[in-house]
């Protein structure tokens, strides 16, 4: 295997379905005080599942750099690298990529964290599903690390205690027509969409002028569910970031479901290349019987399809139907829209400074998450 990278301007990052690997996301993070680094990336002798008859992968990768003190920083690849190599070469690719990126990063960069978008190795094996076809999750961390480090020279890849971005999601195929999309939903979901429409819930796209309305709903939702809040400025940045000069822009839309001039639910829909992504959501605890969240999602799905997207990412769910999982409510809601569950590999670290890495890892285990703003 042979890898090479070349630095490039982040505004020139090529288009991607993955919003977190676009020039748009790089600019958003730059405005939030995080330093974006972009590289063109070529890997030879990697036979990917998605590029038949090709032994070379060409792509871009976005790395976000955040300083944790005056000298030391961490590097983070949100859902990167994108191209998925064959299983036996995954660890080798990450090792070679890390070492070739190392000279391009600050000398006191402690680690690279890859938030891998690749399909989880253990979600492809029958042994990790129960009798109800629910994925039971990967094996022990030790077993995961042994498998990913296979074929590496340094055995220096470590599974993180937590993931930054969701490792489990549900994708809808938007190549189907609206009737087929509705038909693929669970009967209760389909019923709730139609119920919300009959009862007078309407969904519209709103401008930046309604950010305060969004933030009120979002704050109430966070307080109700014990979720850590982003600031209003964070969403303002996402909404206002200029994209017309970027090679990989994004279309950001604020959708709100209303009833009698009252906002009952809202979401940020972001369109990137061929994917619509449900990135942030909020809802009121009033008029729950009107099923406004169902009308909201259906409108987002339709708008994604109308924009030419071929897939819709519901972005974050429990990995299975286990009622004891803290995200079971999201699983029940999102799985009702049909689609296919996808399990990602999650976050993996490649440390450059093992002593400092062990200190940071201990802090993370104690819930002092140094990556919280990435």
Mean pLDDT is highest, among 36-50, 57-71, 100-114, for: 100-114
DSSP reduced 3-state for 245: coil
Residues 277-330: tens digit of each pLDDT: 999 999 999 999 999 999 999 999 999 999 999 999 999 998 888 888 888 888
Q: Assess if residue 337 is contained within a domain.
A: no
Whether residue 14 is contained in a domain is answered as yes
For residue 371, being part of any structural domain is answered with no
- Shared domain check, 360 and 282: no
DSSP 7-50: EE-GGGPPP-S-GGGSHHHHHHHHHTT-EEEEEEEEEES---SS
pLDDT digits (tens, 9 = 90+) for 195-227: 999 999 999 999 999 999 999 999 999 888 888
Q: Are 314 and 279 in contact (CB under 8 A)?
A: no
What values do phi and psi take at 256, rounded to 5? -135, 140
Q: Are residues 43 and 119 in the same domain?
A: yes
Name the more confident of 118 and 226. 118
- pLDDT at position 49 over 70: no
Q: Are strands 56-67 and 311-313 parallel, antiparallel or unpaired?
A: unpaired
Same-domain check for residues 10 and 54: yes
Are the CB atoms for 237 and 33 separated by under 8 Å?
A: no
What CATH number should be reported for the domain holding residue 289?
3.40.630.30
- Count how many residues are written for the chain: 374
pLDDT of residue 58: 84
Same domain, 91 and 211: no
Q: Indicate whether 129 and 204 sit together in one domain.
A: no
- CA atoms within a 13 Å half-sphere pointing along the CA-CB vector of 136: 10
45 near 2, Cβ under 8 Å? yes
Q: Look at residue 374 in the predicted model and tell me its pLDDT.
A: 55
Looking at the structure, do residues 97 and 246 belong to the same domain, yes or no?
A: no
For residue 10, give its domain range.
2-165+344-365
| 333 belongs to a structural domain | no
- The span from the CA of 240 to the CA of 145, in Å, is 41
Given this model, what pLDDT does residue 372 score?
Answer: 43
What is the pLDDT, as a whole number, of residue 365? 82
Residue appearing with tokens 């969403």: 235
- For 277, the token pair is 């992504």
- Is the Cβ–Cβ distance between 83 and 120 less than 8 Å? no
């Amino acid at each position: 295997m042979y890898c090479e990278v070349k630095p490039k301007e982040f505004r020139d990052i090529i288009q991607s379905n993955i919003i977190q690997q676009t020039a748009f996301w790089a600019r958003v993070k730059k405005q939030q005080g995080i330093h974006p680094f972009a590289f063109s990336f070529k890997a030879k002798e990697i036979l990917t599942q998605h590029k038949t008859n090709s032994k070379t992968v060409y792509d871009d990768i976005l790395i976000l750099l955040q300083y944790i003190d005056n000298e030391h920083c961490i590097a983070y690849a949100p859902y990167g690298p994108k191209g998925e190599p064959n299983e036996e070469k995954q660890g080798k690719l990450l090792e070679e990529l890390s070492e070739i990126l190392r000279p391009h990063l600050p000398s006191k960069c402690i680690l690279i964290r890859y938030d891998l978008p690749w399909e989880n190795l253990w979600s492809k094996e029958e042994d990790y599903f129960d009798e109800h076809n629910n994925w039971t999750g990967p094996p022990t961390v030790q077993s995961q690390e042994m498998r990913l480090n296979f074929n590496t020279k340094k055995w220096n890849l470590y599974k993180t205690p937590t993931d930054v971005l969701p490792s489990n999601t549900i994708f809808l195929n938007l190549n189907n027509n609206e009737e087929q999309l509705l038909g693929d939903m669970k009967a209760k979901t389909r019923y709730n969409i139609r119920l919300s429409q009959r009862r007078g819930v309407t969904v519209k796209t709103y401008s930046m002028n309604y950010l305060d309305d969004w933030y009120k709903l979002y704050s109430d939702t966070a307080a109700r569910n014990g979720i850590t809040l982003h600031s209003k400025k964070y969403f303002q940045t996402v909404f206002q970031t200029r994209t017309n000069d970027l090679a990989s822009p994004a279309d950001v839309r604020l959708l709100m479901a209303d009833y009698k001039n009252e906002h009952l639910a809202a979401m940020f829909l972001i369109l990137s290349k061929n994917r619509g992504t449900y990135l942030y959501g909020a809802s009121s605890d009033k008029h729950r019987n009107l099923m406004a969240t169902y009308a909201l999602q259906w409108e987002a799905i339709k708008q994604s399809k109308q924009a030419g997207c071929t897939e819709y990412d519901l972005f974050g769910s429990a990995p299975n139907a286990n009622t004891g999982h803290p995200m079971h409510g999201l699983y029940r809601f999102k799985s009702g829209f049909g689609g296919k569950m996808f399990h990602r590999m999650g976050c993996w670290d490649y440390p450059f400074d093992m002593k400092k890495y062990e200190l940071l890892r201990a802090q993370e285990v104690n819930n002092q998450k140094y990556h919280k703003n990435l």
